[in-house]
Chains A and B, each alone.
Chain A
């Protein structure tokens, strides 16, 4: 079946540190891959996406590359800020049923000033 596995949190970093949040997936065919972010007390916002192998999604300094050979979509940012503190969800939509999103369990990120 289709599933998403992401690193467990919480992750705590100092401001300006390098961030990596790992995400791997299991899916048949060619899913689309997403990162969503949830700031405290709010709903989810789409952060970035990639729809085919080797695509790189980017937004607000975050990047993730769709790696089919390793079935991964790791989220990275070169220099994090306190305002990046949030919960990050990796997700996929299966090729066969793209109206359904399958989410990972989320990774809570806290950035210290």
Chain B
């Protein structure tokens, strides 16, 4: 069966520091991969999605970037974190246009 992992589970970082969140999927090949952010008390916002290695689409202009170095690995990065980057980051996968399945999330607090 397919599983999706995210780490770290929780992260506290100072403003201006770099960021790297990792997401990996097991048990499937060539998935679509997604990064979402959930700000406190709000819904989910799609940040990036990828349909293949090295293919990244950005949904909103922001301080973050994404990369897909391997088929089942999706990384969310920032060179310098802002206070507004705090939130709950969720990775998801799907096969083509089918249902998306979410990881456990990473809670990021920028101080």
Contacts and interface: CB of A to CB of B under 8 A. Distances in A.
A2 B103 CA distance: 25
A100 to B, nearest CB: 6
Nearest to A100: B46
Contacts of A85: none
Contacts of A25: none
Given A43-B105, A99-B32, A34 B43 contact: no
Contact of B103 (A36, A43, A100): A43
B1 interface: no
Contact of B49 (A42, A43, A45, A99): A99
Contacts of A44: 44, 90, 92, 102
B43 A103 contact: yes
B97 interface: yes
Interface in A73-111: 89, 93, 98-101, 103-106
Interface of B: 6, 32, 42-44, 46, 49, 51, 59, 90, 92, 94, 96-97, 99-105
25 contacts: A34-B99, A42-B105, A43-B103, A43-B104, A44-B44, A44-B92, A44-B102, A46-B100, A46-B101, A49-B99, A89-B43, A89-B44, A93-B97, A98-B97, A99-B51, A99-B96, A99-B97, A100-B49, A101-B44, A101-B46, A103-B43, A103-B44, A104-B43, A105-B42, A106-B42
